[in-house]
A and B are shown apart, each in its own frame.
Chain A
Amino acid sequence: MANRQVNPNRMELMRLKKQLVTARRGHKMLKDKRDELMRQFLDIVKANQVLRQRTEQLLAGANRDMVLARAVLDPAVLEAALMSGRENLSLDIDTKNIMSVKVPIFSAEFEMSGLRENLPYGMASTGGELDQAIIALKEALPVMIELAETEKTAQLLADEIEKTRRRVNSLEYVLIPELQATIRSITMKMDENERGNLTRLMKVKDMIVNQALEKARARDAAADVQ
């Protein structure tokens, strides 16, 4: 683990210790966030799978009906009938907040009643097969919109989970060990300084004592001579 270059003093040590506490707290919180996101994500993704299967079934049915209609009707008539519709399908978007990921909620007004009455073309030139195909599509539409909502949500959550996982890992495997290593090295450096200081003091004390002894001896010797 590469230590950062820092001055081994108390100030730095305190700063790093504080940073370590923050990093640990952040790590724990991000981990909780990741777990909760994951829980929600798994539910949504299961729903997503079910919806997709249903959509694909419904669309396959609608497509079958459409092939039938195409077989029975003159292509020009078919086209004219379908193109006469207006592009009037629109959605309202609400936003839901899942663990601070903003996901869309689509809501559209469907006229599910009167499926049969609201066909956008006249009955004179087209047969029942086309009606059947359009009704099948209309029935598929709410499921498709729901699928769009769920799938988008799953994608946004997956992205957020990936980001959160990266953050958790970088805290867990890079920042926190690095801080710990730096703190350890500062502590050791300071201990080493402390020991160095202690021996120096002991040495100085020895020297002072020795000097005092010398002096005392010299004084005694002088007194003996007199």
Chain B
Amino acid sequence: MYKVGVIGDRDSVIGFRAIGMAVYDTEDIELAGDYLRQMVRENYAVVFITEKLAEGNMNLIRELRNQKLPAVIPVPSITGSTGLGMKQVRESVRKAVGIDLFAESDSLQSQDTNNL
């Protein structure tokens, strides 16, 4: 049996405790990374992490992406979604296809300007 955990600031994640997840609350990005590493060792199957903390630990999350477990899933925090989760989906599309298939027109334009 594998566990399900969640990392995030206290306000965002405390409710998950009531539905049986293991909750690690922190607002510190480095500490979140340490928790995440610890959870990898402890056979977690799914780790939900708030988008803000995910953004700070992107390197570690990228490394974990190609491993079978755990699935690290960014979720919006109590202050709302930053769009990081969707960005990640698009990133894997770009990785596979070579181009951003689902790019909306506005992000396409911003990409073009970035390239120029």
Which residue numbers of A lie inside 8 Å of B, CB to CB? Answer: 38, 41-42, 45, 48-49, 52, 55-56, 59-60, 62-63, 66-67, 70, 78-79, 81-83, 85-93, 102-104, 106, 108, 119-121, 133-134, 137-138, 141, 144-145, 147-149, 151-152, 154-159, 161-162, 165
Contact = CB atoms under 8 A, between A and B. Distances in A.
Contacts of B68: 102-104, 152, 156
A86 B108 CA distance: 46
Contact of A121 (B18, B48, B86): B18
Contacts of B11: 66, 70
Given A49-B102, A137-B18, A148-B73, A106 B81 contact: no
Interface in B58-78: 65-66, 68-69, 71, 73, 75-78
A158 B22 contact: no
B86 A52 contact: yes
A55 B69 CA distance: 21
Contacts of A88: 20
Nearest to B67: A156
Contact of B3 (A45, A90, A102, A104): A90
Given A45-B102, A148-B46, 8 more contacts: A52-B86, A60-B76, A66-B78, A93-B45, A137-B19, A144-B46, A145-B46, A162-B96
B89 A45 contact: yes
Contacts of A161: 95-97
Nearest to B4: A89
Given A144-B48, A165-B98, A63 B86 contact: no
Contacts of B29: none
23 contacts: A38-B96, A42-B101, A49-B102, A52-B86, A56-B76, A82-B14, A82-B15, A85-B20, A87-B17, A87-B21, A89-B3, A89-B20, A90-B2, A90-B3, A90-B4, A91-B1, A91-B2, A91-B45, A137-B15, A144-B46, A156-B66, A156-B68, A158-B92
Contacts of A144: 46, 48, 73, 75
A157 B45 CA distance: 18
Q: Is the interface of A mostly helix, strand, loop or mixed?
A: helix
By CB atoms of chain B within 10 A, which of A78, A121, A145 has the most?
A: A145
By CB atoms of chain A within 10 A, which of B1, B11, B46, B102 has the most?
A: B46
A45 B19 contact: no
A49 B46 contact: no
B10 to A, nearest CB: 9
A59 B78 CA distance: 8
Interface in B8-65: 11-12, 14-22, 45-46, 48, 65
A38 B98 CA distance: 11
Contacts of A60: 76, 80-81
B15 A159 contact: no
Nearest to B6: A144
A163 to B, nearest CB: 10
B2 to A, nearest CB: 5
